[in-house]
Structure 1
Amino acid sequence: MTKRTLGISLYPDHSDLNEDKKYLVLASQYGFTRIFMSMLEVSEGKDKVAEKFTDLIKFAKGLGFSTTLDIAPNIFDQLGISYDDLDFFHELGADAIRLDQGFDGQKEALISFNPQEMNIELNMSNDVAYLNNILSYSANKPFIYGCHNFYPQRGTGLPLDFFISSSKRFKDQGIDTAAFITSQVGKIGPWDINDGLPTLEMHRDLPIEIQAKHLFATNLIDCVIVGNAYASEHELRKLGEIDRYQLTFDVSLTTDITQVEREILLDNQHVRRGDITDLVIRSTEVRKKYKQADNPVSSASHDFKRGDVVIGNDNFGKYKNELQVVLKNHSDERKNKVAQISSDELFLLDYVGPWNKFRFRR
């Protein structure tokens, strides 16, 4: 099981080398460790291309990045090389190459035993038995990775159910997985159309950190990569602050929240009870910890809607100071509303299952 990571994308054929390096330095400061680097053309000639990519990859390696090269199939013809010899890409310093085209399974299995020991990244955005076919030819499994596509044209990204189904094919085999999210300010991508570069269509207009939270919350993606360049420093910081292993909901607090309620909400590890209910997500351990703390009935409304965070007040008997997240609208005078989850994040409530851990941040 690999630790979860964050990545950025670079397009050296469409960008300035010094700007790329500045972006790498910035991303490394916020905990990014992987690069998806696109090699689209070799119009400058083999030596010039090698020089540019070696410089950039070596610089990135010095900052702790590993690099996957996405190579357009025509590049092999232009360079006069084949998938049977990855020396050229290895000498550039790349750690992996993405197979932009599929072969017969036996070919991919053979490539996974390349003497340069480069990782081979497969396209995950097909819900077919592609991976199983490759593995059936006794592939070198530790060197096989999976990565979804991104979709520059609005309306062409993957639907969620298809994404989950195709991702499970890789996750079930223990393969390291990656998918793309999109910056809302990045303008650089591989093509002249760039309506953002997400894997999932539903992510296209969402704040970048919510996209990442969602991918990690599916438990199907190990590496989340920003598809377009350049994400803003604000976006990189937001991504760097994410807890990659449990959902942390952004909340706005009510004006009448008490000090005890604030502490229960923000300063504790919350765990959903294993015997779940449709009405609310219950975090019950906190009520034991704050058993002695008074919690007067709030004068605010006790009509609750989905995404409200409530805490049992003094009229709730043994359930006083239990924290609950509302899933279905209801009213209850024995609970005080203390916060509201951001509307953009309400869909993430579906990912808090039995015994799942979660936290709140204002």
Structure 2
Amino acid sequence: MYASLVLLVSERPQKRYRVPRQDPRAVRGRGVDTDTGTCDDVSLDSQPRQSLIFVLMLSLLMSTLGFTHSALDEKLQWMLDAPFFIDDTQLNAFYDAVLQPQVSREESIHIEITEETARNLGTNLDIDVNPLALAGSLANVLGPFNVKASGGFGFSRDSSQTETKTIDLQPIETPQRQLIQLTTQYLVNHSDRIFFVDDAKQDRDWFDPAEIERVPREVVFLDLPSEERAKAKNTPKTKLIPMAVEFADGTIETLYDKLGAKRRGDSWAPYIQNFSPEEAVEVLEEAAEGKGRIEWINFRVPLDEDITARVHFEPRGAYNNGTFAYNLIYLGYKHGLRLVGTVNREPDIRVLAGYRK
């Protein structure tokens, strides 16, 4: 299958690139020459089929280079899932702040990936990446979305800088795709302001006050563990302790004081130790009775023993209270969550999107 796909995109060769010959058997077809160790450049128009072919060919080339499944792919591809929560209002405002000052709605957003870009990203995220691998990882999440939304996804080789890759994005309105474009912009141009946190007990740089105060606004991908994984890794379980909430009728209520634990000074330890996801869901549902849907809600999430982060959601009445609480609190505790958000001091995470595992 790969050979026939490579043949389709290599009928109009423009330039050829050097490919290390690690395993000639891994590369077949006219797109890659196993004798010379080179491959064709490709030029794509906006047809979805060609974009898909491009991604597959790029994956094949990445395999030759030793990037069959890069660490960056693992960190990005869960954005291709349907989120159980997404803050479209905040995402749109953040998207305009980060991307739109450069362009009008009719113009494309031009992003260049250079050797320096890849080097900085590799240093900041502690991964081994080059421009080709980075472009391939981004293509995996950008390609299928942008073809449908805007009719075009460009990937080209710059004529003056031999290691520069170019991505052209079209301004879009859908929040899921805005999040992907925002992530692309941060990875390429602000890689020191994006954090992928797999173990909140070990990864602490992201909530250092000095780090949070820097600009542009910090973005965090927070991977919260399942109950089983937390036990195996000896990390805090995913305990979303409901703190306060506002409902559609304007009522604001505290919730933590209804959980059957008493706070000692500034410590949240009693709530962490006595947390029950069933009780937390029940408290929230009882508080919501007759008051309408949730406008916003704050939680506390333990990062390490008595260290917690405040986690802020703004559903704005878009979700059924029971479904929202069950997906977030109960299933989050059992199976884990993936949250993407911006970070303020305390730390305080303003959630842009949430994904179930």
TM-score range (shorter-chain normalised) is under 0.3
Pick 1 or 2: higher relative contact order, CA cutoff 8 A, min separation 6. Answer: 2
TM-score, structure 2 as length reference: 0.26
- Which structure is higher in helix share? 2
TM-score, structure 1 as length reference: 0.26
